[in-house]
Structure 1
Amino acid sequence: MSIRRLVEFDKANSQIGQSHNQTCWTVLSVEDDTFYQQTLRLALKGLQVNGKSVELISASSAAEASLILSSRDDISVILLDVVMETDDAGLRLVDTIRSIMGNNRVRIILLTGQPGMAPHEDVMKQYDIDEYWIKTDTTEAQLRSSVTSNVRTWHYLTELYNAKRSLQMLVDASRVITSKRDIKSFTRTVLSEIAKVIGVPSEGGIVCAHHSANKSLKESEVIAVSGRFQVHQANLVQDILENPDFREKSEVLSLLEKAMLSREHCFSKGFSALYFSTEDVDKRAYMICVQTPNTLLPEHITLLKVFCENIHNGFKNLALFNRLSQLAYYDLELNAPNRNWLEREISQLDDETLSNSTLVLVDVKNYAETAVMLGKRYIRSLIHSFYEALLSEFPHASAICRIDDNQLALLFLDNGGVDSKKLARLTEKKIVIDGVQHTVLSTVGEMSLKQSVDCEASEIVTTAQIAVASTREKKLNYSNFDVKTTGEIAQRQLILHELYSAMTSTSELDIALQPKINMKNGKLIGAEALIRWLKPDGTAVPPVKFIPIAEASGLINKIDLIVLEKTITAIEALSQHGLSIPVSFNVTCGELQNDGFVEEVVNSLNSSKIDPSLLEIEITETQAMEDYTIVNPILKNLRQRGIKISIDDFGTGYSSLAHITDLAATTLKLDKSFVSKLSGEDKEAGVAVCEMVLRLANRFDFDVIAEGVESEIERLALMDIGYEIAQGFYFAKPMALPKFIDWAKKRPQ
């Protein structure tokens, strides 16, 4: 039997109740047909779900329904018509409920008498509804079953929502209290957050007291009060207990003593006594007394107990903090948080908070020069006054830290509280020292931490320092780094972090060999070892990405030694396969000047027992000539030991004939930029340079190699000029050692 036919049995009961009864499940019918409204009421009459009855309230339009839904959140199911004041009023209401009101819990059952206006498949795809029924086809049994299942779904979602909201309250409360670093502000915050968690009204109150082992409970020192206890002006617990307005003296004292003796939280009607001990750290105990007008519900007690775990940790951490933080986490000159403190604070932030945070670095200019010229006392006074000025000017900053002698950092956990204009004015800040006005000049960098969620705290701070250094190098005073800039810096930091890990791996960093070929007969006469980085996931990192970072960070020296070791291993392996050819590898000027480098090379050669002439070191022309007086004696030392020396990228640097004549090298490598001209429009210029380098090499008895040969045209042009040896993609790309050996065995011998 259809619902429409039910009206014939009871037309008299037309008034639908509108009262809000929390003992019932509330269903809202949105329908402009009063006849059908009556039908629905009859169909749901007497329906019970989980022992509670269903109450049906009605709205005759989408607009009326919006008003009802905005004023109450206990509606579990909506029976919604599509066509009302407009043809799509019902569908528009769905969007309003889901997108504007943000109500994703209420279940929506679409009921239509005109299915052609809203095709089933289209509506189910486009709108967040739970069921779709055609009025004339819907039976009473179907409706009651559908409402029952959707009420239960709403109930489960609501329980989950409330639990999530309670959990969020605890998370927020815990985060707030853990940010406090002195006992007064910590306990005041604890009282405030307890009131939020369990809902302590104004007529209630909370008091926190510190209890010493050598004093009675009444003599415990009151640290913080809230609510009704604020009027007592109490210094000790007995001041509250003896106040004439406080009539529950004996009850509260008994409960507090019980908690103190049992060392546990205790609860009674209207009062809770919370006990916290840090005796293992500082021989202290704390009592919190909470008064509520009504007895706490079990769920409130559960929430409070969970929160008390965080409060206990807060008291204990505070005690430990007070003992150790002055040394570990504070700058002694300013009594301000230091870099360790800042990194710890950042590491404790959840992802959402971190992504909404901003880190500002203020780099005081000419710090070292000022300290030398005016003395330590003056520079200490300057930094101290500057720090005090920041504290006064930026009270909303979560922290103001000294992370280096001349660097202060401001951490804002809410981007909305950052005043960029005020920050920019810090580049020229006037302060007063001993009654005299001074101007502090600084470089300021403001950096959003949105792109730093997956980074370590130390990397975040280092990234900010790099960003400020970049600002300073560009001769700017203030920069607000955007997402792209900080993302690029963070990416470089990530590469650096991964490179550190790769240094300890035996497989991530390896070499590839590119052959050097005699162009006249095609024979293999040597190879160059090139660094390669293959991450564990199979991703290859191009040298152009990590070599500059390695050079900037100082890791390039260690990479040079890794390449040295792997090059000698490759020479040994080639010799075992009858391929006795020299292999070259690149060395930076910094590593070449390292006192232990030559010794490292000699020891490696002695351990391997390979012929020194099979090892060749390549250094760029620019490096060789810039530090000629230092580098050339080192090259001579290596040459005397039988090791070959190549000058890489020749023709692009700062060579002079005076240096060339005395340069301790065996080979000049013609830079590929000149080789490429041989196949381009500027061929004549390319030929001229190539001829000049060849004449220079012949004049001073250097071998010469053309690098970067990529075409037959370039090969033929080089041979016409008189070049014999070359390397480049035309002959072969760099290959891993096993593949190189297989390739080399097939070459003309």
Structure 2
Amino acid sequence: MDNTDDDDWLIDDDDAVMSAASAAHAAGALPPWRVLVVDDDADVHAVTRLALRNVAFKDRELELFSAHSAAEGFTLLRDTADIALVLLDVVMETEDAGLVLARRIREDLGNHTVRVVLRTGQPGQAPEQRVIIDYDIHDYKAKTELTTQRLFTAVISALRAYDTLTTLERSRDALSRVLACSGHLYQAVYHGGSLREFATGVLGQATAVLGVGADAMLCVVQADGGELAVLAASGAFADLAGLALLPAGHPLRPAFQRALAQRSSQYDDDATVLLVPTEQQRRACVAFIPPLPVAPIQRDLLELFGQRVAGAFDNHYLVAQLRALRQSAEAPPPPPPGTFPAH
């Protein structure tokens, strides 16, 4: 292939400011965005790494992978999870290798979320209008027009689109699981068991269904005194499971109190407290430490889950009351005064 244009595919841009995007990055706090560079020119890989070395988006830095052919790129995409963006050269082992890979990503791998940005040093080989219409790609760039700032803009735009798509996908799956788990919650109610056993099942459903992480606990307000009782706890909070009351100095106590006082869930940066809006004698909240910040669309799913849990809590209370009444009705009457029980 002719690489005469590739040597200056990335033009120096003194006005490009990368540090602003990474200033808020908390090292190691969140998983990086995975970006795959597919190009047969080693210099392109080197310069791309240099240009994106300080880029971060939503407090997550970039992790770059390299493939030097379309075949190698396909293997990496097949075997590596959560690649968000592919910076893909068009002309590699063949004149249309990049286009073939772009199609294989969608059709053979069935991956419709990863963003694909085509880059070419020979725009005439693949006219932009035809490529944009015929291929499911996010963007098309000539290497000669890519300044550092334009590469930065293309990458951030693609990551934002990927984040939106994956959030929608996770939310759709979570909605299906929330609706399915409602049946499990009600089965647990009618199969009996203590309130603590039921609360433990609720936490298990929350962590499995919503993917909120294993660090969670469920508290209820005691009828006498209004203190918070820990019904169930897991992960980092597991030691609290055996305590009757949430310790006064626990860092999540203020969030619990705000949720109960304001009658609304609390979505703080470091934790989430989901209000369970019961109608019976119990006021409850579920707290958890999510691995990633809770997106607005995920909050809607959490609120839906909270409503399902509230309904199950109310039913648990009513079933317990009915069982107590039945046991009272079935108990033998006390002997009349002055008589002795039969032996």
TM-score range, shorter chain: 0.5 to 0.7
Amino acid corresponding to residue 186 of structure 2 in structure 1: R
Matched residue of 1:278: which SS? coil
Question: Take 2:273 and 2:205, find their aligned partners in 1: how far apart are those partners?
Answer: 16
Matched residue of 1:78: which SS? strand
Amino acid corresponding to residue 278 of structure 1 in structure 2: T
- The alpha-carbon deviation at position 88 of structure 1 amounts to 4.8
Tell which deviates more after alignment, 100-109 or 72-81: 72-81
Q: CA contact under 8 A between 2:258 and 2:266: conserved in structure 1?
A: yes
Question: Take 2:131 and 2:259, find their aligned partners in 1: how far apart are those partners?
Answer: 63
Work out which of the residue numbers 240, 243, 252 in structure 1 matches 2:243: 240
Aligned to 1:385: none
- The alpha-carbon deviation at position 94 of structure 1 amounts to 1.5
Question: Take 2:141 and 2:266, find their aligned partners in 1: how far apart are those partners?
Answer: 55
Q: CA contact under 8 A between 2:70 and 2:92: conserved in structure 1?
A: no
Question: Take 1:272 and 1:310, find their aligned partners in 2: how far apart are those partners?
Answer: 14
Question: Take 2:292 and 2:32, find their aligned partners in 1: how far apart are those partners?
Answer: 21
- The alpha-carbon deviation at position 78 of structure 1 amounts to 1.1
Work out which of the residue numbers 76, 99, 102 in structure 2 matches 1:94: 102
Output one character per residue of 1:368-412: Cα deviation in whole Å (capped at 9) or x when no partner.
Answer: xxxxxxxxxxxxxxxxxxxxxxxxxxxxxxxxxxxxxxxxxxxxx
Structure 1 position 153 matched with structure 2 position 157: yes
Amino acid corresponding to residue 163 of structure 2 in structure 1: E
Amino acid corresponding to residue 311 of structure 1 in structure 2: G
Aligned to 2:203: 191
- The alpha-carbon deviation at position 159 of structure 1 amounts to 3.0
Aligned to 1:16: none
- The alpha-carbon deviation at position 273 of structure 1 amounts to 5.5
Q: CA contact under 8 A between 1:80 and 1:111: conserved in structure 2?
A: yes
- The alpha-carbon deviation at position 68 of structure 1 amounts to 3.6
- The alpha-carbon deviation at position 184 of structure 1 amounts to 3.7
Aligned to 1:429: none
Amino acid corresponding to residue 257 of structure 2 in structure 1: K
Question: Take 1:225 and 1:112, find their aligned partners in 2: how far apart are those partners?
Answer: 57
Q: CA contact under 8 A between 2:256 and 2:273: conserved in structure 1?
A: no
Q: Which runs of 5+ in 2 are unaligned?
A: 13-26, 191-197, 320-343
Aligned to 1:181: 186
Matched residue of 1:249: which SS? coil
Aligned to 1:537: none
Matched residue of 1:76: which SS? strand
Say if 1:67 and 1:288 are closer, same or farther in 2 by CA, change over 3 A. Answer: same
Matches within 5 A, 1:34-73: 34=42, 41=48, 58-69=66-77, 70-73=79-82
Question: Alpha carbon RMSD of aligned pairs, Å?
Answer: 5.3
Amino acid corresponding to residue 206 of structure 1 in structure 2: M
Question: Which has the greater radius of gyration?
Answer: 1
Aligned to 1:109: 118
Say if 1:76 and 1:171 are closer, same or farther in 2 by CA, change over 3 A. Answer: same
Matches within 5 A, 1:286-297: 286-290=283-287, 292=289
**Percent of aligned pairs with the same amino acid:** 19
Say if 1:79 and 1:270 are closer, same or farther in 2 by CA, change over 3 A. Answer: closer
Normalised TM-score (structure 2): 0.57
Amino acid corresponding to residue 287 of structure 1 in structure 2: A
Matched residue of 2:186: which SS? coil
Aligned to 1:568: none
- The alpha-carbon deviation at position 240 of structure 1 amounts to 1.8
Say if 1:183 and 1:268 are closer, same or farther in 2 by CA, change over 3 A. Answer: farther
- The alpha-carbon deviation at position 175 of structure 1 amounts to 0.9
Aligned to 1:312: 307
Structure 1 position 284 matched with structure 2 position 288: no
Structure 1 position 31 matched with structure 2 position 39: yes
- The alpha-carbon deviation at position 287 of structure 1 amounts to 2.3
Question: Take 2:255 and 2:166, find their aligned partners in 1: how far apart are those partners?
Answer: 32
Aligned to 1:76: 85
Say if 1:162 and 1:320 are closer, same or farther in 2 by CA, change over 3 A. Answer: same
- The alpha-carbon deviation at position 83 of structure 1 amounts to 3.2
- The alpha-carbon deviation at position 109 of structure 1 amounts to 0.9
Amino acid corresponding to residue 29 of structure 1 in structure 2: V
Question: Take 1:225 and 1:92, find their aligned partners in 2: how far apart are those partners?
Answer: 51
Q: CA contact under 8 A between 1:29 and 1:59: conserved in structure 2?
A: yes
Work out which of the residue numbers 248, 251, 263 in structure 1 matches 2:249: 251
Amino acid corresponding to residue 158 of structure 1 in structure 2: Y
Question: Take 1:133 and 1:298, find their aligned partners in 2: how far apart are those partners?
Answer: 32
Matched residue of 1:290: which SS? strand
Question: Take 1:227 and 1:97, find their aligned partners in 2: how far apart are those partners?
Answer: 37
Q: Which runs of 5+ in 1 are unaligned?
A: 11-19, 243-247, 325-749
Output one character per residue of 1:128-176: Cα deviation in whole Å (capped at 9) or x when no partner.
Answer: 3455667xxx52x356576345324313312312431453255234313
Q: Give aligned pairs, total.
A: 286
Question: Take 1:227 and 1:55, find their aligned partners in 2: how far apart are those partners?
Answer: 29
Matches within 5 A, 1:183-582: 184=189, 187-196=199-208, 197=210, 199-201=212-214, 204-207=215-218, 209=220, 213=223, 215-216=224-225, 222=231, 226-227=234-235, 239-241=242-244, 249-252=247-250, 255=254, 258=257, 262=261, 264=263, 265=265, 274-279=274-279, 283-290=280-287, 292=289, 299=294, 303=298, 307-308=302-303, 310-312=305-307, 314-316=309-311, 319=314
Normalised TM-score (structure 1): 0.30
Amino acid corresponding to residue 40 of structure 2 in structure 1: D
Matches within 5 A, 1:100-139: 100-111=109-120, 113=122, 126-130=134-138, 138-139=143-144
Question: Take 1:104 and 1:225, find their aligned partners in 2: how far apart are those partners?
Answer: 35
